Amino acid sequence: MQLNVSDLRTVLAEIKAEPAHSVVMVLNHDLYEDEEGSYITERVWVEYGVAIVSTFRRNPCFDRMAGIDRLHRWPASHCQAYVDTRNHLSFKAFGKPPGDSALGLAIKAANRAGQPSSMEDLSYLWFARVLAAVSREAARCFGLQNCTYYSCLMQGVSGMRQAGEIPPYLCPVCYSTLGSELVLLQPVYRRGIEREDAWLGEHYAELKAFCNKWNQIPHFAAFEAWLGKRLEDRKSDGDGGETAGPSN
């Protein structure tokens, strides 16, 4: 069954509790916006602080129909063979990421986890996709738009295939934008830049602990490894400082 997002928005905006900055609704139904489009998978209204994410099209049972190659989701989405095949081109190889880089460790962790095959693992994969979508829409509620700077959770994507090829983290520009928005909501007892830096460290640690619970599937295993390396780098760089933002 398809639900109209405008109807849902009207209800959500009315029932949203006053202290809430924004609300993201997750529902299992398919969505549509108007008679012209066949379906949409998420929608945000920044002015209302309301977003809606549908789980329906993210179900792994639709992967074949959507042209999704599960082996080449992030962090393996930049694999040269995969990119060449998709673009019908052949570029000169630039080599692999260093094995001890955050991205290199994420790739190794994803390979170790192996591909999900049981119903339970596939449900975790589905869960990971929904989480990424909710993260994107929540970030949009704080003013983030499509990112054109780096590899980033906020990169513009079209369809479920592309949605799985972007990383689950924000680039330095988007982290800084979101961080400065969020620290405005916190008590003012430290300088803004210090609060932003402290927030990033705490946020990485919380995300890493969360990913650890689900690391039997490649997406969470890779993100856990990536976050571990970034936390390590921050420590060796003097707890954040110049390299507070993420890199590959």
Exposed/middle/buried for 180, CB within 10 Å: 0-12, 13-18, 19+? Answer: middle
Q: Tell me if 103 contacts Zn ion by CB under 5 A.
A: no
* Residue 144 interacting with Zn ion (CB under 5 A): no
Nearer to Zn ion, 41 or 177 (CB): 177
For Zn ion, which is the closer residue by CB, 90 or 146? 146
178 interacts with Zn ion by CB under 5 A: no
One residue of 24, 102, 132, 174 binding Zn ion per CB under 5 A: 174
Nearer to Zn ion, 72 or 136 (CB): 136
For Zn ion, the closer CB: 62 or 149: 149
CB of 147 to Zn ion, least distance (A): 3
Give the tokens for residue 162.
Answer: 């592309």
CA distance linking residue 94 with residue 81, whole number of Å:
12
Least distance in angstroms from the C-beta of 1 to Zn ion: 35
First to last CA, the chain: 40
In whole angstroms, give the CA distance from residue 101 to residue 168: 16
DSSP 184-224: TTS-SSS-HHHHHHHHHHHHHHHHHHHHHTTTTSHHHHHHH
Residue placing its CB nearer to Zn ion in the complex, 90 or 162:
162
- The answer to the question of residue 147 lying near Zn ion (CB under 5 A) is yes
Q: Is the dihedral of CA 237, 242, 244, 248 positive or negative?
A: negative
Token reading at 137: 């829409």
Task: Quote the least distance from Cβ 174 to Zn ion, whole Å.
Answer: 3
Written as six digits, the tokens of 210 are: 């969360």
Number of residues engaging Zn ion in binding (CB under 5 A): 5
Asked if residue 171 binds Zn ion (CB under 5 A), the reply is yes
Residue 137 CB, shortest distance to Zn ion, in Å, is 15
Nearer to Zn ion, 31 or 171 (CB): 171
H helices present in the chain, as ranges: 5-15, 63-66, 80-87, 102-113, 119-141, 159-163, 172-183, 192-212, 218-236
204-233 mask for Zn ion (x: CB under 5 A)? Answer: ------------------------------
Q: Which residues bind Zn ion (CB under 5 A)?
A: 147, 152, 154, 171, 174
